[in-house]
Each structure stands twice: as structure tokens, then as C-alpha cells.
Structure 1
Amino acid sequence: MMNEATLVTSNIWSIKANLTSSYQQTISDQLRQPTRQATFIGAILAFVFIFFGLIGNIILITTILSVKKLRSYTINIFIVSLQFNDLLNIGFNQFFVGLSYVNRGWLGGPVVCKLVVYFSTICMGCLLWHHCLIAIHRLIVVVYPNLLRRMSIKTYIIVSLVITRILPILCCIPSFLTDSIAYSPKALRCSIRNKLQIYINITILILLPNVIIIFCFVGIFFQVFHATHTTGRMNANSISISHSLRREIRITKMFAVLFTLFFLGYHPYGFVRAFDKRGQLHPDIYVLLTLLYCISICASPLVYGIMNNQLRHECMRVLFNCWRCQKKNNNYEKCSHHRLKITETKSLTVTNGISGVHYNTESPLMVLSIQNRSTLISSKKKTPPTTVLDTADV
């Protein structure tokens, strides 16, 4: 009896200990998660920017691919490649992040959570290396125009697009080989826990392209500063050169604004995720940093529309043409429907000289005979009398 009593009391104490430990675990999980107000505001803002980002990217890609003049420019090919990358990032990665804010927990399962981590890393590296190779192209166009005449633009575009896709995938090999991705309740998404992968991402996918981009923009700035002081002493022949230089400077400014927007949007999020290992920051800060990253990605079509007059006018023209085509199609459908009604009403009654005879009251053979008789009468009335010549005497 004593052994049974001690066994029962030990079981009761073990159950109580398990309950208290599970309760403490749930309390700690709730403390490590963002607040309900932060996730509610984050979900609304995330889906609003995701919607406008998808619409803007689709319009921009459709405009460049449909207008032959825009397709001929090298820089627009880079823009299309960038926007396809943003479509994948917005439509897949940021969409599941918005769903996690709605659910206050990850909704896609562990496989989708890992895929989001891989796609986020690949899209981030692809975006930065796109800006890096665009900055190199801008440096060659503005500072070294003689080198631009000797190099093959088509080869440069192909090599650039291949590098921007292959290099981020190769950098994710340590995560592919090891199971180093775990769920983070503070960010409501999965994160990389492999130190080697974090080091590769910081050095190759973040720091190296940033240094190259800043170096290229500094070189372009000094070239523009030197050109503005020398254009006052040039003759009228060099004024056209300064106009072309101004165009290239406007394009360079546009990509500088895009890079600055991405720099301010992604890098705080990336560095905080990389260095906050102990989890000392409040979870709502992760929601704010994720929203900044989402806004920086979704706002790129707005920057193109504001800073590139040609793209803005062509996008408006394509939208206006689509609206006119839709209006014409609606008018054509209305006219065809009206004509169909008229033919139906005409087919119900016969008006060629015979009144009061309806198709629904006569047999089909009688209707056909009436029609043939009416057509014969009308043809006899319309055909003029022909004189037959006697050709016997000719």
C-alpha cells in the first residue's frame, strides 16, 4: 500500500511538473511572438503593398515587352529581369509572410517554410547582383564610352543574367546539404542557423555587390562632376554629347534611387536577423523590418514611373489602348447582340409582299415556297428587259 501511494503521488507530481513546464513554454512562446496589434497592421500593409507591387510589375513588364522601341534598349532588358525577380519575391515570399501575420503563425508547413528561406536568399542575391552589374554597365557607359564601342553588348547581357541567377543558387549549397533551417517564432517564419551559410550570404551576396555598386556610383559621380565643369568651354558640337550624357545620368540616378531604397529596406532586416542570436530585440521590431523590406521591393515600379518619362508615357499609352480595345469589344458585342435580335425578329415574319404569314404558323415547305416565289417576283421586277439581236444577217 505504501508503494502504491508513493507511486500515485509521484505520478501526480510528474503530471503537475509537466503541466507547469508546458504552461511556461506556451507563455514564453507568446512572449517571443509579435503582438496582435503589430501582426494585424503588418498583415494589412503587407497585402496592400503586395497587390500594388504585383500590378505595377505586370504593367511594367507588359509595356517593355510589347513596345519594340523599349525592347531595343539594353537597360530595359535588365529592368525586365529585375521585375521578374520581384514578381517571384512578392508573389511567393512576401505573400506567405503576410499569411503568417494573419494567422499569427506559419501557415504553409515546414516544406514551404524552407522554400521561402531558399527563395528569399536567391531573390535577395539576384537583386543585389543585378544592381551590381547594372552599376558596372552605367560606369562603362558614362566613364568609358570607348570601351562600350568595342565590347559586345549582347554577350554582356547574357553573361550578366546568367551570373545573377547562378551565383545565389551556388551560395545556397551549404543549406541544401545540411538541415540548418529552423522556425523562428519572433519573426513568424523560418531562418538560417548555419554559420557558414550566414557568412557566405553576408560576404558574397551582400557586402561584395554593395562595395562594387558604391565604387561604380562614386566613379560616375566624379565623371559627371568633371563633365559639368568642362561643358561650359565646349562648342556647339559638344552640346549634343552633353545631352546624351544627361540622359545616361538620369538613368543612373534612377538605379541609384532603387539601390538606396533596397539598401534602406533590406539591410537592417538582414543584419538584425544575422546578429540577433540571443533574441534580445522585441518581436514587433521584426514585423517593422519585414514591412520595410516588403515596401522597398514593391515600390520599384513607382520609382520607374516617376524617374523615367519614357516608361511612364508608354505604360499610360498601353493602359489607354487596352481600355479602348475593351470599350470597342463591349460596343461590338452590343451591336452584334442588337443585330442578332433584329435578324430574329425578321425571321419570325415575312414582309416581302405577303403580310400576315408567320413562320410559326406555316410548315417549313410552305415557307420555302413563299420565299422562292417572292424572290422570283422581285428578280422579275428588278431585271430590265433585254433585246435579243438576230445574228443571222451578220
Structure 2
Amino acid sequence: MTRLPSAILFTLLVHINEAHVNPSTELSFMFNSTISNRTTLTSPLLRQPTRQATYLGAILAFVFIFFGLIGNILLITTILSVKKLRINIINIFIVSLQFNDLLNIGFNQFFVGLSYANHHWVGGPLICKLVVYFSTVCMGCLLWHHCLIAIHRLIVVVYPSLLRRMSVKTYVIVSLVITRVLPILCCIPSFATYSIEYSPQALRCSIRNKVQIFINLTVLIILPNVIIIFCFLGIFFHVYHASYTSGRTTTPSTSVSHSLRREIRITKMFAVLFTLFFLGYHPYGFVRAYDKRRQLHPDIFVLLTLLYCISICASPFVYGIMNNQLRHECMRVIFNCWHCQKIDDYRKYSHGRLNSTVTTALTVANDGGDDGRASPSAASMRDLSCKTVRKKTSSATIVDTAHI
């Protein structure tokens, strides 16, 4: 019997192993690969930011998240509770923007802060992917909000005749639908394919699909930014030209000048908000696009993420600083809440004093002599207690009437 050469024998063994694969081996391989994918979320061997940077970033992030949530809730409550603010189209856009910021701060930035505090991702693979989707939707929604607000400001300032012919209600509805639906539609490629991976440098997931990155870059970032910049330039150029023209005329109109000052003040407010978001969000995207080989230190991404968090949480304070009406109404809401709490505390205190006085008076009145009649001291005490009760009752009635 002749022996086969060793090379031929090795080739036959390889083909036999490829043709007859053990199913249990396949299952174990799939299970191990799944476990390895999950453990990469907390693998200490990957390059991660330093603990000092993540702890400091977590502290600052949670501080700004706290004030951002309070500011957004206060601003939304003020606009929705005051009728003269609620009927303004600009305030409707502001409320929609603040709801978007609430989702971004309360969900996305909160989990990012938790990952920095624990120095690893704590939400699991599902939350890690949801944070990416919500971040993309919130970012696109925010930019398209600013875009449609800039278009509205351009129509109000430059083309007021067009504003009188168009339906404001229809414009608001269409704008709010576009700002919500368009970012969701742009996320469809990432839904259909596996395009999200964990990034140890950022301690969270990020998009790796080139098609999804191109769509986000063109539709959700570049296009609204270009429209916003051109609208603001057109508004400021028109206002500057109108101010220069009215200054040279011999009979300037006071109402036109006041209207121009009001419109330019509102436009400046939204320009500051857009600039704040531009400086807070875009550096992170530019650095991620530049650092394709992951050569930069991971602490840089902590700093850029913190800048983005600050830019989102600071928007209510920009509204309060640059809009006198919103600031006064917010202060009024805070004062009313504090005043109502003080009145409730006073009512509880007065009610407790009144009950204690009545109880004392009844106790003294029932404490009679041996013959069943009240003693002189008890009678005098009872009269004094009755006078005190009447005085307390009258004073309480006066306070309630004054409050009403």
C-alpha cells in the first residue's frame, strides 16, 4: 500500500473539515463573537480617556445638565402659561426647540455623563445605539429649526408683504413637521445596515457607515448652515441699509425705526444661539473627521463633548438675557410660585393657631365649679378666648379677601 504525500493528505483533511462542520462549533463561535462584541463596550485594553478628564467632565456635564433642564422647563412653562407669549410664532418655535433640547439633555447628555462618571459605557448596546440615533435626530432637528426661523425672520424683515399674504398657521405646521420628519428620514440607512460601532475614545457609539455620514453631513449640517448664514446676512444687510436710508432722510419715521430695532434685536438673539451651537457642536465633528487614524488623545473628545453639552444647556439663559419680555415673564412665574407657597404656608399656620385657640377655649369652658357653673376665672378666661377667636377669624378673613 502506497503512502500519500503529506501535502495531499493535508489538503484532503482541510476539505473534509470544511465539508463537515460541527453545528455546535458554529453556535459556540457565534455566541463567543456576540459576547466579544458586547465586552468591547467595557474592554480596558482599548485606548480610553484618562480618569481625571472623565471625572471632571462628568461633574461639569451634570452641573450644566441640571441648570439646562431647569431653564428649559421654566421657559416652556412660562411661554405656555402666558397667552400673549403663546400666540407669538417665534415663541412657538422656541417651545419646539426647548422640547428638542430637553430630549437631548435628559437622554443623550445624561448617558454620556454617566459613561464619564463610570469611565465606561453603562447603558448597554441598545442604549448606545439609541443615543446615536437620538443625537442625530436632535442635531438635525435643532439646525433645521434655526434654518426655518432664519427664513421666517428674513420674510418678516425683508419681505413683509409676503408675510401678509401667507398663512402663518400653515407655515408653523409645515415647519414643525419638516424639522421632525427630515432628520428621521435621514437615519434610514443606519436602520437598514449595521453602521454603528463603539468608540473607546469617546466612550460611546458612533456612526461608521460612509453613506450615513455623507447624508448627515450634507442634509443635516451643511445645507441648513448655508441657508441660515445667507438669511442672517440678508437680514443684517437690509437692516443696515434701511437704517442708513432713514438716517439720511429729513423726516424719519419713529415707528419704522422702532420696528427695525425690535427685529434686529430678535435676529441677534437667534444669531447668538446659532453661533453658540455652531461653536459647540461642529468642532467635535471636524475633529472626528480629521482624526481617522485615532491618533489624537482621547481627552480632547471629552473637552469637545463638554463644549457641546454647554452650548445646548445655555440656550435658555441666552433667551433670558437677550429677550426682555421672556425674562420678565419668567421672573413673574418664579415670583408667583414663591408667593403662592408663602400664602399656603401662612394659611396652614393660621389654621393651626385657630384650631389650638378653639381647643383651649372649649377646655376652659368645660372646666366648671362644683355646682355645675363655671367659676369666675373660667368665665373670664372663656370671654378672653372668645374674643381671641373672633379676632383671629376676622384677621384670617381679611387676609383671604385681600388675597382674592
- Total equivalences in the alignment: 332
Once the 2 structures are TM-superposed, how far is the Cα of residue 176 of structure 1 from its aligned partner? 1.0
Q: Go from structure 1 to structure 2 and tell me whether the alpha carbon gap of 1:236 and 1:65 turns closer, same or farther (over 3 Å shift).
A: farther
> Which shifted more, 330-339 or 227-236?
227-236
Q: Go from structure 1 to structure 2 and tell me whether the alpha carbon gap of 1:356 and 1:214 turns closer, same or farther (over 3 Å shift).
A: farther
1:335 aligned residue (320, 331, 350): 350
Structure 2 partner of 1:380: none
- Residue 367 of structure 2 is aligned to residue 324 of structure 1: no
Partners in 1 of 2:103 and 2:87 — Cα distance? 25
Question: CA deviation digits over 1:251-281, x for unaligned, max 9?
Answer: 0000000000000000011222344322111
Question: CA deviation digits over 1:336-371, x for unaligned, max 9?
Answer: 1222223333444535xx8259xxxxxxxxxxxxxx
- What letter corresponds to residue 291 of structure 2 in structure 1? D
Partners in 1 of 2:201 and 2:280 — Cα distance? 19
- What letter corresponds to residue 127 of structure 1 in structure 2? L
Percent of aligned pairs sharing the same letter: 78
Is 1:64–1:80's contact at 8 Å kept on the other side of the alignment? Answer: yes
Structure 2 partner of 1:277: 292
Structure 1 partner of 2:169: 154
Aligned 1:302-381 pairs, distance under 5 A: 302-350=317-365, 355-356=368-369
Partners in 1 of 2:108 and 2:71 — Cα distance? 17
Structure 2 partner of 1:218: 233
Give the secondary structure class of the aligned counterpart of 2:197: strand
Structure 2 partner of 1:145: 160
Q: Which runs of 4+ in 1 moved over 6 A?
A: none
Partners in 1 of 2:64 and 2:45 — Cα distance? 28
Structure 2 partner of 1:387: none
Question: CA deviation digits over 1:299-337, x for unaligned, max 9?
Answer: 101111111111111111111111101100111111112
Once the 2 structures are TM-superposed, how far is the Cα of residue 237 of structure 1 from its aligned partner? 6.7
Partners in 2 of 1:122 and 1:33 — Cα distance? 26
Partners in 2 of 1:123 and 1:356 — Cα distance? 80
Partners in 2 of 1:194 and 1:329 — Cα distance? 58
Give the secondary structure class of the aligned counterpart of 1:183: strand
Q: What's the TM-score once normalised by structure 2's chain length? A: 0.79
Give the secondary structure class of the aligned counterpart of 1:148: helix
- What letter corresponds to residue 204 of structure 2 in structure 1? R
Is 2:108–2:135's contact at 8 Å kept on the other side of the alignment? Answer: yes
Structure showing greater radius of gyration is 1
Partners in 2 of 1:31 and 1:116 — Cα distance? 21
Is 1:231–1:239's contact at 8 Å kept on the other side of the alignment? Answer: no
Structure 1 partner of 2:394: none
Once the 2 structures are TM-superposed, how far is the Cα of residue 192 of structure 1 from its aligned partner? 0.8
- Residue 122 of structure 2 is aligned to residue 110 of structure 1: no
Question: CA deviation digits over 1:210-269, x for unaligned, max 9?
Answer: 000001011111101111111124465722012111101100000000000000000011
Partners in 1 of 2:253 and 2:50 — Cα distance? 62
Structure 2 partner of 1:125: 140
- What letter corresponds to residue 68 of structure 2 in structure 1? G
Q: Go from structure 1 to structure 2 and tell me whether the alpha carbon gap of 1:71 and 1:356 turns closer, same or farther (over 3 Å shift).
A: farther
Once the 2 structures are TM-superposed, how far is the Cα of residue 147 of structure 1 from its aligned partner? 0.5
Structure 1 partner of 2:89: 74
Partners in 1 of 2:117 and 2:236 — Cα distance? 45
Structure 1 partner of 2:210: 195
2:62 aligned residue (33, 36, 47): 47
